[in-house]
Amino acid sequence: MTRTLISDAELRRPRTRAAYFAVLALVTVLFGLVFFFPLYWMASSALKTPSEFALSPPTFIPESFEPGNYADAWSEMRIARYFANTAFYALGGWLVQLVVDVAVAYALSKLRPVFGRLVLGLMLASLMLPAAALLVPAYLTVSDVPIVGVNLLNTPWALWLPAAANAFNIYVLKRFFDQIPDDLLDSASIDGAGRLRILWSVVLPLSRPVLGVVSIFAIIGIWKDFLWPLLVLQDPEKQTLSVALSRLSNTSQVPPTEMMAGLVIASIPMIVIFLIFQRSIVGGLSAGAMKG
Amino acid sequence: MAVSTTAKPGVARAGRPHHARPVRTGRRGRKVKDNLLAYAFMAAGIACFALFSWYPLVRGVILSFQQVNFVTDPYWVGLDNFRALFDDPLFWTAWKNTLVFTGLALIFGYAVPLGIAVLLNELRHFKAYFRVAVYLPVMLPPIVVVLLWKYFYDPGNGLFNTLLRGAHLPESQWTQSGSTAMISLVLVSTWANLGGATLMYLAALQGIPGELYEAAELDGASVWQRLRHVTLPQLRFIMLVLLLIQIIATMQVFIEPYQLTGTTNPDTITVMVLIYRYAFTVNHDFGLAAAMSVLLFVVLAIFSAIYLRLTRGGER
């Protein structure tokens, strides 16, 4: 443990110590109120009857207990369908991203083709492109893909293919592959392994940590995305949970308690992923910060 | 730059001069094959980038000079789209609102995470609790955050007005009134996003060598002086980077105004909302939307260029 602004010696002084615990208590309570209370509010409101929900002042511990709201949201708001859609988009998008980006990163890192650096540079340049700049032309591209001329609107590919063009993933993967010694690959090659075989049996098993981080971020990214799915999935049957919740809250007469249940259901996978992979998520985040 | 795997032929020639020729052509053959293989590996990736980032960038610029009406082919109209933008009062409103949002988001979303990170770095207990608390909202789907806060902001029996009533304070119209609407949007956005910046600051704070604080303490620097003369200067780089990330992100704000106040409310319409509106709701005018995107892109590109410069400088 390195020392920080205030030293341990200072903290041992009775007055500083008292102040420290006062601040600690205050911050603990404040964080609970600011960051956890809204989530508690959401989950507990979903258990109320609509009339209790409308009470003013509100009840902080629900007097009614209507777990049926969750079931209603699941079936009547058809959350089950949107949930399944989103899970399908997230898993498919994760797979497509992983296959496409690993292949690019492997080729750039280990096969080192001519103009490889130019290709990498052009890909990295796209990181500087704000989504806003591409919104309209990318939409037009998806609606009528050049050369092949297919319409991807309302298909999963409208989410998967643009997501695969992820320069950040490629950069992170390439940096990791660069650290794998070429000798290891050469000896596999002498043993008769082809390039694909080397990727599969040597490079990928060594890259588990970085593949994990890339996977988590790919799934979180698709689950959280809103504007792009809003544009390319206008068919209600095909929508993601986020887009469907937005549409339902704008148009229909969903009771607020049912809506709250829907919000809780939409949050659960992200909260679970976060609690399980906290370390990699926070680590990946700070690594991103340090590398720029 | 394109030369990468050519170190070996020279060695081979020096070692076995007589076989130089056949070996070299053999190598060249293998090199061509390797390159073909490498590009086969990259084909899908290159196609995705070409279709969804390189080509749209060019097409967006072309679109901004075209009229698109879906009846005839798009035709060239020169600067008409830009002229139409400048004549639209909403264009100026959207820019003004966006700048207000970015400015407010900087005041809250920039200072608050820094303060929280410095504070959390000093607290020696419940570290995991604080980290989870501050980052949890970042994990939630943005639509969940925004819809939840919509209930909090409800002027009738929303939580916020209930609390104000309880404390005998004047109630607010929150997102419904012109003067508080923008600040209400910024509050949601800050709550949802400050965790990311906080954790980045925390990582940077943990990288500050403890000796610096020790030396300052020996010189008699008070806690405030240490904060001012050790902590802040050490964080200068990450502060600049986050400032630019924050500007670039907040200038593209969409979901908060879209969901909380709609696409027609002049009090909160932002550049992104207006682009969406031009292209996908009222006007169905892709040329106009593209022109607006190009302008936003130019502004953001300036910030991106500064960001790139800074991060490059930091790596060296």
CATH number, residue B135: 1.10.3720.10
Instruction: Note whether B33 and B161 are same-domain residues.
Output: no
**Residue among A31, A35, A282 whose CB faces B199 most closely:** A282
Q: Which of the listed ranges A14-18, A135-139, B65-69 does the model predict with the highest average pLDDT?
A: A135-139
Total-model pTM = 0.89
- Give the pLDDT mean for A145-159: 93
**Confidence grade of residue A281 (pLDDT, cut at 50, 70, 90):** confident
B148, B289, B314 member nearest A38 (Cβ): B148
Q: Is residue B2 part of a domain?
A: no
Q: Do B141 and A104 touch (CB under 8 A)?
A: no
pLDDT level of residue B316 (50, 70, 90 thresholds): very low
Cβ atoms of residues B67 and B211 within 8 Å: no
Instruction: Give the model confidence (pLDDT) of A44-84 as tens digits.
Output: 999 998 888 888 778 888 888 888 899 999 998 899 999 99
How many Cβ pairs closer than 8 A exist between chain A and B?
306
C-beta atoms of B45 and A145 within 8 A: no
Based on the fold, state whether residues B229 and B253 are members of the same structural domain. Answer: yes
pLDDT at res. B8:
39
B219 CA to chain A: closest CA distance, Å?
Answer: 14
Please check whether residue A273 is in contact with residue B139, taking contact to mean a CB–CB distance below 8 angstroms.
yes
- Same-domain status, A197 and A64: no
Q: B145 near B188, Cβ under 8 Å?
A: yes
Whether A24 is covered by a domain: the verdict is yes
pLDDT score of A54:
82
- B10 lies in some domain: no
The pLDDT of B67-78, averaged and rounded, is 83
pLDDT band for position A287 (cuts 50, 70, 90): low
From the CA of A264, how many Å to the nearest CA of chain B? 8
Domain boundary among B46, B76, B106: B76
Shared domain for A158 and A98, answered yes or no, is yes
Helices (H), ranges, chain A: 8-12, 14-31, 37-45, 50-53, 68-75, 79-106, 116-125, 131-143, 157-164, 167-178, 182-190, 195-198, 204-206, 208-224, 227-232, 241-251, 256-291
CATH of the domain at A149: 1.10.3720.10
Same domain, yes or no, for B191 and B65? no
* High-pLDDT (> 70) share of chain B, %: 90
Q: HSE (CB half, 13 Å, CA atoms) of B151? A: 23
Among A3, A11, A140, whose Cβ lies nearest the Cβ of B286?
A: A140
Measured CA to CA, the distance from residue A33 to residue A31 in angstroms comes to 5
Q: How far apart are CA A184 and CA A16, in angstroms?
A: 56
Q: Which of A116-125, A166-175, B236-245 has the lowest mean pLDDT?
A: B236-245
**A224-246, pLDDT tens digit by residue?**
999 999 999 999 999 999 999 99
Instruction: Provide the number of structural domains found in chain B.
Output: 2
Q: Are residues A20 and B226 in contact, defined by beta-carbon separation less than 8 angstroms? A: no
Q: Is A235 left (phi over 0), alpha (psi -120 to 50) or beta?
A: beta
d(CA A93, CA B50): 18
Average pLDDT, chain A: 90
**What's the pLDDT band for B134 if we cut at 50, 70, 90?**
very high
pLDDT at B314: 53
Q: What number is the average pLDDT over the span B285-313?
A: 89
How far, in Å, CA of A289 to CA of B314, rounded?
11
For residues B157 and B217, membership in a common domain is answered with: yes
Angle at alpha carbon of residue B312, lines to B99 and B297, rounded to 5°: 30
Q: Do B59 and B140 fall within a single domain? A: no
User: How many beta carbons lie within 10 A of that of residue B75, not counting itself?
Assistant: 11
Q: Is residue A152 located within the same domain as residue A229?
A: yes
Residue A225 and residue A139 share a domain: yes
Query: Can you list the alpha helix ranges (DSSP code H) found in chain B?
Result: 8-15, 20-49, 55-63, 80-87, 89-122, 127-139, 142-153, 159-166, 178-206, 210-218, 223-226, 232-250, 255-260, 271-280, 286-315
Kindly report, residue by residue over A199-226, the tens digit of the pLDDT: 999 999 999 989 998 999 999 999 999 9
What is each CA distance from B66 to A166, B84, B256, B296, in whole angstroms? 29, 12, 31, 18
Contact B195, B137 (CB under 8 A): yes
Among A72-81, A151-160, B158-167, the range scoring the smallest mean pLDDT is B158-167
Report yes or no on A179 lying in a domain: yes
Rounded alpha-carbon distances, angstroms, from residue B136 to A36, A39, A73, B129, B132: 8, 10, 23, 10, 6
Kindly state whether residue B225 falls inside one of the protein's structural domains.
yes
Residue A56's domain comprises 8-71
Selection from A119, A209, A122, A200 nearest residue A172 by Cα: A209
* Domain shared by B105 and B205, yes or no: yes
One domain, residues B181 and B282: yes
What is the rounded average pLDDT of the residues A103-128? Answer: 93
Above 60 in pLDDT, residue B7? no
Asked if residue A14 belongs to a domain, the reply is yes
- Do residues A232 and A99 make contact, with C-beta atoms less than 8 angstroms apart? no
Give mean pLDDT, residues B118-133: 92
Spatial distance between the Cα atoms of B252 and A241, rounded to a whole number of angstroms:
22
Residue ending a domain, choose from B41, B76, B111:
B76
Q: Examine residue B110 and state whether it is found in any structural domain, yes or no.
A: yes
Examine residue B83 and state whether it is found in any structural domain, yes or no: no
pLDDT of residue A114: 92
Domain that holds residue B193: 88-315
Average per-residue pLDDT in chain B? 86
Count Cα neighbours of A81 within 13 Å in the Cβ-side half-sphere. 13
Whether residues B107 and B250 share a domain: the answer is yes
Q: What is the pLDDT of residue A280?
A: 82
**The pLDDT of residue B12 is above 80:** no
A292 — pLDDT class (breaks 50, 70, 90): very low
Q: Once rounded to an integer, what is the mean pLDDT over residues B219-234?
A: 90
Pick from B202, B154, B194: nearest CA to B174: B154
Same domain, A66 and A85: no
Choose between A287 and B72: higher pLDDT. Answer: B72
Is B15 a domain residue? Answer: no
Whether residues B105 and B179 share a domain: the answer is yes
Are residues A54 and A113 located together in one domain of the fold? no
In a shared domain, residues B161 and B264: yes
Nearest-CA neighbor of A160 among A242, A218, A224?
A: A218
At A243-258, the pLDDT tens digits run 999 999 987 678 889 9
Examine the domain organization and report whether A163 and A57 are in the same domain. no
Domain boundary among B76, B97, B114: B76
Same domain membership, residue A118 and residue A40: no
Q: Which residue has the higher pLDDT, B1 or B198?
A: B198
Number of domains in chain A: 2
Boundary residue ending a domain (A25, A53, A71) = A71
For an interface test with B, give the residue of A101, A135, A270, A276 to mutate (most B CBs within 10 A): A135
Residue B211 lies in a domain: yes
Q: Which of residues 95-114 of B touch A (CB under 8 A)?
A: none
pLDDT per residue over B242-289, tens digit each? 899 899 999 999 999 999 998 888 899 999 999 999 999 888 899 999
Residue A262 lies in a domain: no
| Residue A260 falls inside a structural domain | no
State how far the Cα of A246 lies from the Cα of B138, in Å rounded to an integer.
Answer: 18
A105 shares its domain with A214 = yes
Is residue A229 located within the same domain as residue A111? Answer: yes
Backbone φ and ψ for A193, nearest 5 degrees, come out as -80, 140
Distance CA A86, CA A229 (A): 10
For residue A43, being part of any structural domain is answered with: yes
Note whether B96 and B43 are same-domain residues. no
Query: Which pLDDT score, from 0 to 100, does residue A270 have?
Result: 94
In a domain, A170, yes or no: yes
Compute the distance between CA of residue A71 and CA of residue A60 in angstroms, rounded to an integer. 22
* Ordered DSSP codes for B84-149: HHHH-HHHHHHHHHHHHHHHHHHHHHHHHHHHHHHHHHH--S-HHHHHHHHHHHHHS-HHHHHHHH
Residue A163 included in any domain? yes
Q: Say whether both B123 and B269 belong to one domain.
A: yes
- Identify the burial level of B80 via C-beta atoms within 10 angstroms of its C-beta, where 0-12 means exposed, 13-18 middle and 19 or more buried: middle
Is pLDDT above 50 for B10? no
The partner residue sitting opposite B122, judged by closest CB among A4, A36, A106, is A4
Find all residues with CB under 8 Å of A122, minimum gap 6, and list them: B49, B54
What's the CA gap between A30 and A176, in Å, rounded?
40
At A192, the pLDDT band (50, 70, 90 cuts) reads confident
Task: Compare A31 and A10 and report the one with higher pLDDT.
Answer: A31
Q: Determine what percent of chain A is predicted with pLDDT higher than 90.
A: 66
Return the pLDDT at B18: 45
Q: How far apart are CA A230 and CA A225, in angstroms?
A: 9
Q: How far apart are the first and last CA of chain B?
A: 19
